[in-house]
Amino acid sequence: MRSGLRVLDTDAHQMEPAAMWQEYIDPLYADRAPKVGEYGNGGRGMIVEDEPITKQDGSYPMNSAEFHEATRKAMQRFSRTREAGFSNSARLEDMDEQGVDAQVIYPTVGGQILGKPFKDPELLWAVCRAYNDWSLEYCGKDPSRLFMAAMLPVQSPEFAIEEAKRTAELGARCFYIRPNPSEGRNLSSESYDELWRVVSALELPICLHDSGSPYLPSYGDRMSTHTSGHIAAHPFEAMVAMMSLIWFGTIERHPELKVVHVEADAGWLPYWLQRMEQHYDFSGRAEHPQLLKRPTEYFKSNFLVACRGDEMTLPSVCELVGDEYVAFNTDYPHPDGTWPLGMQHLEEQPLSELSIRRIFWDNAAAVFNCQS
């Protein structure tokens, strides 16, 4: 708690040990688990199915010396936690220091893995199970504060359904999904309808979170550096995923489905709702017969968007859209995140105490089924 306010960080990350994948994967797949290996271009890093988990050539790469040096410098602020192996105890110590009550925790390497097509979908499912089992064990140290986000292998909706059911029973608090198209399908594809039905029945949200240098289609593909690709990919993928879930009837068909956008900022939200409303006024349901309500109505009933504490546009988001639809995130412990100053930056925003309380805790706590 900070100054009497509870804090729920809706976007934090695991820093998965490289050996974890082979240790936790089903023994049937142990010889094909993700591991550190040679890229073939002189580089070295995580590989699976004999390929790097991130694209190493073409656009949106992660392999420049300049990028790695910037990352090294930015990670110095986590030196104590890194020396402790990013353990759950070290994480809780950091949270206590900064007054953070709870974190929603996503993978790091796992997010990149979900950006890669798999020749064998059953291997991908096994990889997801390995991460989920390890992360559930990690978060089990204090599940009232460490909220585990389960990786779902949406490349195979059938396997994603089984993994959603399995992890929900074991204690997952939400489901981690990338917003990018996968296997030629947007998230609004009716191929996912049974998955959304199951997720809705489980009363857990889906959390949409892009990740670095994917093989999947990405708005970052138009760029030639990781930084420029990252600037474009995260918010644009979030915006298009939101639009498609609304306009192609997913939310109409699944009115109980809760969707949380993280690590994409929130400043785009008033513009994006405005853009959708303009097109609704122009053509209404002409091409979208399943759109039975205005786009903003679907947004307000089903979506939450996480902000950084330092967004200069945040007051206008609260004024134009409403402070009930914004959550908070830091991206701990990633180098491009806002930890540890993100909380202070939000406290310094020209917002009412009620708005800050809602953003820090109330809005997300309702979606993640937190105790009051």
The angle at the Cα of 161, spanning 230 to 235, to the nearest 5 degrees, equals 15
Q: Residue 329: pLDDT above 90?
A: yes
What share of the chain in percent tops pLDDT 70? 98
**Given the structure tokens 């929130």, which residue do they identify?**
266
Q: Residue 323: pLDDT above 70?
A: yes
Q: Which residues contact 201 (CB under 8 A, 6 or more apart)?
A: 256
Count of alpha carbons within 13 Å of 228, Cβ hemisphere only?
Answer: 8
Q: Taking the CA atoms of the chain, what radius of gyration do you get in angstroms? A: 20
Q: For the chain, give the mean pLDDT.
A: 95
The larger pLDDT score, comparing residue 201 to residue 54, is at 201
Q: Residue 61: pLDDT above 70?
A: no
Is-contact 178 192, C-beta < 8 A?
no
Query: According to the model, what pLDDT value does residue 114 have?
Result: 96
Q: Which residues contact 161 (CB under 8 A, 6 or more apart)?
A: 194, 195, 198
Lowest pLDDT segment from 29-38, 210-219, 315-324: 210-219
b/e per residue 51-84 (b: at least 16 CB within 10 A)? bbbbbbeebbbbbeeebeeeeeeeeeebeebeee
pLDDT, tens digit, for every residue of 214-239? 789 999 888 888 888 899 999 999 99
Structure token digits, residue 180: 């990018």
Task: Give me the mean pLDDT over the 77-99 stretch.
Answer: 97
Rounded Cα–Cα distance for residues 140 and 106 (Å): 15
Query: According to the model, what pLDDT value does residue 59 have?
Result: 64
Lowest pLDDT segment from 132-141, 184-193, 214-223: 214-223
The angle at the Cα of 2, spanning 102 to 94, to the nearest 5 degrees, equals 55
DSSP state letters, 63-101: --HHHHHHHHHHGGGGHHHHHTTT-HHHHHHHHHHHT--
Task: Give me the mean pLDDT over the 177-198 stretch.
Answer: 97
Task: Give me the mean pLDDT over the 170-185 stretch.
Answer: 97
Q: Residue 159: pLDDT above 90?
A: yes
pLDDT, tens digit, for every residue of 196-217? 999 999 999 999 999 987 789 9
Coil, strand, or helix at residue 143?
coil
Q: Which residues contact 65 (CB under 8 A, 6 or more apart)?
A: none
Rounded Cα–Cα distance for residues 177 and 124 (Å): 14
Helix axes 226-247, 295-302, angle to 10 degrees: 110
pLDDT, tens digit, for every residue of 247-276? 999 999 999 999 999 999 999 999 999 999
Query: According to the model, what pLDDT value does residue 66 have?
Result: 83
Q: Which residues contact 259 (CB under 8 A, 6 or more apart)?
A: 205, 206, 208, 242, 245, 302, 303, 304
